[in-house]
Amino acid sequence: MNKAQLVEAIADKLGGRQQAADAVDAVLDAIVRATVAGDRVSVTGFGSFEKVDRPARYARNPQTGERVRVKKTSVPRFRAGQGFKDLVSGTKKLPKGGEVSVKKAPKGSLTGGASATVKKAAAKKATTAKKAAAKTTVAKKVAAKKTTATAKKAAVKSTATAKKATTAAKKATTAKKATATAKKTTAAAKKTAPAAKKVTAATKAPAKKTATRKATAKKTTARKK
């Protein structure tokens, strides 16, 4: 039975060939997508579809007998359910008319059952972990920016303090130079003072001698008269 024959077989039950074709396509598409994603699709009483990973291995070419390395790959696997096995093996008889009697699937079994639930939970945890990591990264970036800003402010303050200290040092140096100059001027003035006194004394001495000579000349003139 191919796909077209399968559609014809269920067309009467679904109200037409188009509806049956859409139903078959939808079912097969859901099974394939879930299996490719790594989910296990289980239909109770019928079987399950799952993805199986095969590691890299060595095999032999059946035509040449040459040893060939086979790469790692993934393959789909179908495992028949117990009810399906019993019908095929003859343990149970297939009813002549109506639908095949299989167990009703419990809620959630068509979406992969416990396996899908576990995978969904793992996916949620992974998403939560990613969000937490993203928040941590943002927090680190904000902290780094704050640290950089603080460092810049500290550098600016340090530069300003250094400039003030340099200015104060320059002023202190200028004051020291002025003091030294004043001291030198005072010392020079002190050295000049004795010389000035000597000059004054030397000037006064001739003046006294001249006055004495004038007095003597007057006395002599008076005696002659």
pLDDT in tens, 93-102: 887 766 665 5
Least confident among 87-96, 142-151, 174-183, 208-217: 208-217
Whether residue 51 is predicted with pLDDT greater than 90 in this model: the reply is yes
pLDDT of amino acid 102: 59
25, 12 Cβ separation under 8 angstroms: no
Mind listing the pLDDT tens digit for each residue in 116-135? 544 555 566 666 677 777 77
- What number is the average pLDDT over the span 72-82? 94
Cα dihedral angle (64, 70, 76, 77), rounded to 10 degrees?
A: 70
pTM across the whole model = 0.44
Amino acid residing at 139: A
Count CB-CB contacts under 10 A for residue 211: 10
114 — pLDDT class (breaks 50, 70, 90): very low
Residue with tokens 């004038």: 214
Per the CB < 8 A criterion, the answer to whether 37 and 123 are in contact is no
Residue showing tokens 């040893």? 67
Q: What is the pLDDT of residue 178?
A: 75
Which of 17-21, 143-147, 216-220 is the least confident region?
A: 216-220
Q: What is the mean pLDDT of the chain?
A: 78
Q: How far apart are CA 108 and CA 113, in angstroms?
A: 5
What the chain holds in terms of domains, given with CATH numbers, is 3-110 (4.10.520.10)
- Helix intervals (H) in the chain: 3-14, 17-36, 82-89, 113-224
Instruction: Cite the beta strand spans of the chain per DSSP E.
Output: 41-43, 47-54, 57-60, 67-70, 73-80
Between 4 and 105, the higher pLDDT residue: 4
Q: Provide the pairing of β-strand 41-43 with 67-70.
A: unpaired
pLDDT of residue 185: 73
